[in-house]
Structure 1
């Protein structure tokens, strides 16, 4: 899959294409259903399938106080988009210069001249151009003017026809610690990606050495608590390796009067790992319990031992 961060990187002669536009945060099952169908249609027509997305999220520029926390970072979003079979993704830097374009200029510059769109796939609520002046009727009119068709997709709902699959729903579930529920919408375990940094080394003293994730890790951190999950070490030239079972703790360590929120993972049964400076992925399977404050170290160790036993059951090890 081609990955572009500037329209100038699109090679001459690229296209014709089917293009869709969106934030695609989390690349959940609703996104995937639309994208895989779009890819299949593009293949049948012998043309390219392209997604245009944005970095940062537009609300981070226009209304930063209302901007949602992102479910996935750009790297993971691109990996997930690539898995749908797309031929290319344009990650457009969302700047004031870009935002101030008129709807007509955006369509002409990006969709017509840049990506040579034959079809543009949008939702009923599509808005684009300065101050969201462009809507579905605008896109239809511009498509008629410039020679591309517009395919309007309906909301994708759960199999029982209930709630619409959405990034908002995933965020709600993660804020409650319901990582298994979030996984049902995402179609995969929720993940965090970041570098391992030094912590207080208290876990090692207690017999449960942990890998502490840097505070700038990518991905939406779920609610405080203890989770069963998986840790993978990312090797730059090879991708991932060694998906290891883990008990993951999120919180401030109230037993030790901690104040900073941390994400740390104990690889079950391993005390020999040195992961400092490594990039890791943490995948969440199930929440085991909320964060608790213990009256004694012995109570804490007993509960951590029980956490690991429960994690083994959840992970099937």
Structure 2
């Protein structure tokens, strides 16, 4: 998959293409339906399947004080798009100058002159151009004038429309099972493994601590069954703790993963410090509880690991 970070990076005469646009935060099932339609249309028209997305999220430019937390980082989003079979993604730098374009200026410069679009795939609620003045009828009219078809994705047939808002709501409640259902895969966080207080190791449960600047929404405090993929691509079952661990005083909020039934050898496989890892949240086991002391916590951790092992098996 080709990735372009500006209009100038798109090769001249790259088209024909079938294009869609959006923020694609989380790349949930609704997004996946749109991108599947893009791939199908591109195949039937002998063109390239391309998505246009924005960085930063437009809300961070227009209303930073109330912008929604991003479900996934840009790098993770691009990897997920590649896995869905796109030929190219244009990551458009989003700023006030770009946002000031009229709907026609935007469509003409990006879709027609740069990407050579023969079709544009959109949802019923598509908005674009200065002040979000462009809508579906605008896109259809521009398509007729500028020479591309508009394909509308049917989003009916679900009890609730797939949305990034739904995913955020679920994660804020620790309901990673619902998030998994909406996303079509487990919610993930990714980041560097950093040194912690080594308290897990002292208790017999050494954990990989994610850096505070890790990408992805942190679910609500609690213990989860999930997976951890290390920098070498090894994927391990894990019990994941999110929170400040109220059994101990002065512990800041953190995400840490304990690899279940890890083999004794090779030891170097678990020298994770400095590695970029991905943590997947599959199911919530319990909330965060303050125990009377380390012994009670250790007993609970054994129960957590046993339950996570059964779920992941």
The TM-score bracket by the shorter chain reads: over 0.9
Does 2:142 align with 1:145? no
Could you report, residue by residue, the CA deviation over 1:148-202 in whole angstroms, capped at 9, with x for unpaired residues? 1212223255xxx311111111111111111122111111111111000111111
Does 2:252 align with 1:260? yes
Aligned length: 308
Aligned counterparts, 1:50-199, within 5 A: 50-155=50-155, 157=157, 161-199=158-196
Structure 1 residue 311 displacement after superposition: 0.9
Cα distance in 2, alignment partners of residues 19 and 265 from structure 1? 39
1:248 corresponds in structure 2 to: 240
SS of residue matched to 2:85: coil
Structure 1 residue 206 displacement after superposition: 0.7
Q: Which runs of 5+ in 1 are unaligned?
A: 236-240
Cα 1:68/1:156, change in 2 over 3 Å = farther
Cα distance in 1, alignment partners of residues 49 and 187 from structure 2? 26
Does 2:261 align with 1:269? yes
Could you report, residue by residue, the CA deviation over 1:178-232 in whole angstroms, capped at 9, with x for unpaired residues? 1122111111111111000111111111111111100111111111100011111
SS of residue matched to 1:256: coil
Aligned counterparts, 1:196-215, within 5 A: 196-215=193-212
Could you report, residue by residue, the CA deviation over 1:284-313 in whole angstroms, capped at 9, with x for unpaired residues? 111110000111111111111111111111
2:40 corresponds in structure 1 to: 40
Q: Which runs of 4+ in 1 moved over 6 A?
A: none
SS of residue matched to 1:209: coil
1:12 corresponds in structure 2 to: 12
Contact preservation (8 Å) 1:30, 1:156: no
Contact preservation (8 Å) 2:239, 2:258: yes
Structure 1 residue 73 displacement after superposition: 1.0
Task: Output the TM-score relative to the length of structure 2.
Answer: 0.95
Task: Output the TM-score relative to the length of structure 1.
Answer: 0.93
Q: Which runs of 5+ in 2 are unaligned?
A: none
SS of residue matched to 2:8: helix
Moved more, 21-30 or 144-153: 144-153
Contact preservation (8 Å) 1:193, 1:279: yes
Cα distance in 1, alignment partners of residues 305 and 216 from structure 2? 24
